[in-house]
Amino acid sequence: METLKIVKIGGNIIEDETSLNVFLELFSNVEGNKILVHGGGRRATSIASKLGIESKMVHGRRITDAETLEVITMVYGGLVNKNIVAKLQALNINAIGLTGADVNSITSKKRPVKDVDFGFVGDVTQVAHESINKLIQGGFTPVFCAITHDGAGQLLNTNADTIASQVAIGMSKLYETSIYYCFELNGVLEDFQDKNSVIKHIDTTRYKTLLEKGIIVDGMLPKLENCFHALHHGVHAINMGNTAMLTKTNDNFTKITL
Ligand SMILES: Nc1ncnc2c1ncn2[C@@H]1O[C@H](COP(=O)(O)OP(=O)(O)O)[C@@H](O)[C@H]1O
Ligand SMILES: CC(=O)N[C@@H](CCC(=O)OP(=O)(O)O)C(=O)O
């Protein structure tokens, strides 16, 4: 089976022009089939604030009312996505920017209201692996933002880590897939005060212990949940660390296995 790498970058890298440029240069040198997924939560929050719109996050997810949906569509689907695509073109990568509505690539269902009403937030229901594969086979590099659609004309906001894991699960019908979650730290840290205390390997048992000890908190909670979900659904390998993990010489990052 051919391999496919799904690389995800978060808001902290996107916010820093130098970090973004370094990342994109490394990404452009990644060999073989690849897909990029980007977030941009921090940019959405700052632009919403300039427009007088307050941002509310619950359990790591943005409460997305109609006004916020407009902002995130402009920020993720426009500003961030098109800038990244243009920068990749400058690096000779024939990138194509996509929301889940484009080529009907990612369908989702509005998250049902239980204790919290998240508004226009979508949980992924289907990834059109054949259509995405046509792009890859055509020589294009798909660049997904954190927007999906319900198939009935409604765009929905979906966490970018979830997009990466769901796209990887979908594409694993055709490829041996691996995910690279790139963020500003070297990996999952044993001691948050010590940036070098990278945990090199997390398996199911270690994951439980880290949760019990309260070492995994905040944004790392949904991130690792996504990782184990993906590994249980056909994804071959998951790595988490800073952008240097895309180079062959660096092994100071976290590898996640079942
Ligand atoms: N043990 C840990 N090691 C590393 N990061 C952790 C840990 N626990 C919580 N975190 C937090 O998780 C964050 C990464 O998740 P997230 O905010 O979703 O990042 P991004 O969206 O930029 O990828 C880190 O910035 C850090 O604040
Ligand atoms: C539903 C939901 O929470 N969506 C996220 C999508 C962006 C994202 O995930 O960005 P980062 O990767 O930079 O955090 C949000 O709007 O913040």
Q: In whole angstroms, what is the distance from residue 30 CA to residue 7 CA?
A: 10
Q: Is the CB of 223 under 6 A from ligand 1?
A: yes
Give me the helix-helix angle, 220-232 and 160-171, nearest 10°.
10
Q: Is the separation of the CB atoms in 85 and 34 below 8 Å?
A: no
Closest C-alpha among 48, 73, 44, 229 to residue 149: 73
Q: Is the CB of 13 under 6 A from ligand 2?
A: no
ipTM of the shown complex: 0.96
Q: Is the separation of the CB atoms in 124 and 106 below 8 Å?
A: yes
- Number of independent structural domains in the chain: 1
**Which domain covers residue 74, as residue numbers?**
3-256
Closest C-alpha among 29, 40, 111, 112 to residue 82: 40
- Segments of the chain with pLDDT less than 70: none
Please give the C-alpha separations between residue 123 and each of 42, 85, 109, 112, 235, in angstroms, as whole numbers. Answer: 21, 25, 5, 9, 19
CA of 223 to the centre of ligand 2 (A): 11
pLDDT score of 218:
83
pLDDT score of 249:
87
Residue with CA nearest ligand 1 atom 13: 219
Q: Which helix (H) or strand (E) segment is 207 a member of?
A: helix 204-212
CATH (domain of 237): 3.40.1160.10
Output the pTM of the full model. 0.97
What is the tens place of the pLDDT at every residue in 201-229? Answer: 999 999 999 999 999 988 898 899 999 99
pLDDT score of 217:
87
Q: In whole angstroms, what is the distance from residue 118 CA to residue 63 CA?
A: 5
Residue with CA nearest ligand 1 atom 22: 10
